[in-house]
Amino acid sequence: MIKAVDPRHIAVDLLGDVLDEHRLLSEALPKRLAKVSPEDRARAQRLTLLALRNMDRSDRMLGPHLKKRPPARILNILRLGVAELCTGGAAHGVVNELVGVARANRETERLAGLVNAVLRKITDEAEKWGGLPVPRLPKWLRKPLIADYGKAQVEEIEALQAQTPPLDLTAKGSPEELAKRLGGVLLPTGSVRLQDAGQVTGLDGYDGGDWWVQDASAALPAKILAPQTGDRVLDMCAAPGGKTMQLAAMGADVTALDVSEVRMKRVAENLTRTGLSAEMVVGDALEFDVPQFDAILLDAPCSATGTIRRHPDLPHAKDGSEFPGLFELQEYMIDRALGLLKSGGRLVFCTCSLLIDEGEEQVRDALGRHPDVQVDLDALRLPGIEVSWFGPEGLRIMPNYRADLGGMDGFFITALRKA
């Protein structure tokens, strides 16, 4: 019998959390991986993401071999098996271990033979995989994105999201030196990109705190804020801490604020590992009332629709019903941030979203509410940022930008200056 700590067993459990319980992986992972070794944890996550990223293709491969829809757990076992077998997994090991996963559960052991038979048939048909269409975004998200950006660009985004993304790092010191040391590529915006990085904690410089994981798009807001040494800066939604560390490394006097005590523990761990410091405050940003900051970074809670290339669980765990509440929360948070700024202070507002309502529309509305605030487009003109990314309200970064290098997370970023 396969033990529950087996990475494939954990991956099937995680697929159930996402596809059947509609939970985000970030919510499910702590429970599932609490007592798992770093190596098995990394492998379980990799397998789960592989299955989610390719679920549409797997279902197409399975269709001819299933007379009726099997129980949810069996279907998830099969989806994982198809994704592995059709992307180079060793047939003998994949099939045998997934049959064992089925046998390890009383509700699915009677269908272990089905798992064995179907996956062995898939092994003989793996060459069909390359001819299957690229998985599409769900209709609730695809329709508004096509309305905003056109079908051609959405299809480019979908093609990129079907690929395993590279790993981006932000260097505490010289990014050029870090790229050379790790054999990475130095991106035009200063992030270091690694292909097939493997286990993050095993990379050179992790224990020494020389860098932290941060998508190239997510590294831009702090660079745009560009605090001077000694500036009082508020990182308004700080967890997991990438931007806090950037601001601290720039010499700012940083206050890191976040409502989640659990997530703030991660910020503290990251600061300790990198040898950086910030004042830590656990609390609601809308109730925080310590004014007169020189600058504020507000990476607001949002739909996270720009991060699906890294988080393929999102389209399955969400359905868009929570979006109006997020839009309203962002309005309140922008107003609160502007109220905490000194005269002449600057606010960088950003969301990892592809939705206009969480970017350009928020800025237009904020300018209407605050006649003493202006967009500072000059602050956005950093090395590596393309002219085509600019709009009147700020930067719109799409996942298919720099697709030849592996793309970027979708982001909206703007800089607002208080008169």
* For the chain, domain boundaries: 7-131, 220-418
DSSP letters of 225-279? Answer: H-PPTT-EEEETT-TT-HHHHHHHHTT-EEEEEES-HHHHHHHHHHHHHHT---E
CA dist 369 and 326 (Å) reads 18
Our CA angle for 322, 323, 329, nearest 5°, is 95
Q: Compute the Cα dihedral for 396, 397, 399, 401 and give only its sign.
A: positive
Residue in 181, 161, 159 with CA at minimum distance from that of residue 169: 181
State the DSSP string of 368-408.
HH-TTEEE-GGGG--TT--GGGEETTEEEE-TTTTGGGT--
Please give the Cα distance from 243 to 232 (Å, whole number). Answer: 15
> What pLDDT was estimated at residue 223?
98
- One of 86, 302, 350, 352 is an active-site residue; which one? 352
SS3 state at 337: helix
In order along its 419 residues, the chain shows pLDDT tens digits of 344 468 999 999 999 999 999 999 999 998 898 888 888 998 999 999 999 999 999 999 999 999 999 999 999 999 999 999 999 999 999 999 999 999 999 999 999 999 999 999 999 999 999 999 999 999 999 999 999 999 999 999 999 999 999 999 999 999 999 999 999 999 999 999 999 888 898 999 999 999 999 999 999 999 999 999 999 999 999 999 999 999 999 999 999 999 999 999 999 999 999 999 999 999 999 999 998 999 999 999 999 999 999 999 999 999 999 999 999 999 999 999 999 999 999 999 999 999 999 999 999 999 999 999 999 999 999 999 999 999 999 999 999 999 999 999 999 999 999 99
What does the pLDDT read at residue 37?
Answer: 87
Q: Among this protein's residues, is 352 annotated catalytic?
A: yes
Which of 348, 72, 345 has the alpha carbon at shortest distance from 223? 348
Q: Which two tokens stand for residue 232?
A: 């009082």
User: Two tokens at 279?
Assistant: 């004042």
Q: What pLDDT does residue 5 have?
A: 66
pLDDT, position 1: 37
CATH number of 220-418: 3.40.50.150
pLDDT for residue 379? 97
- Using CA atoms, how far apart are residues 11 and 16, in angstroms rounded to an integer? 9
Q: Which DSSP letter does residue 190 get? A: S
Task: Give the pLDDT score at 31.
Answer: 87
Chain-centre distance of CA 298, in angstroms?
Answer: 17
H/E element holding 294?
strand 293-299
Identify the CATH assignment for 7-131 out of 1.10.760.10, 1.10.940.10, 1.10.3720.10, 3.40.1390.10: 1.10.940.10
Q: Please, what's the b/e burial string for 54-76 (b: 16 or more CB within 10 A of its CB; e: otherwise)? A: bbebbbbbbeeeeeeebeebbbb
For strand 394-397 and strand 390-391, is the pairing parallel, antiparallel, or unpaired? Answer: antiparallel
pLDDT of residue 3: 43
Quote the pLDDT of residue 196.
86
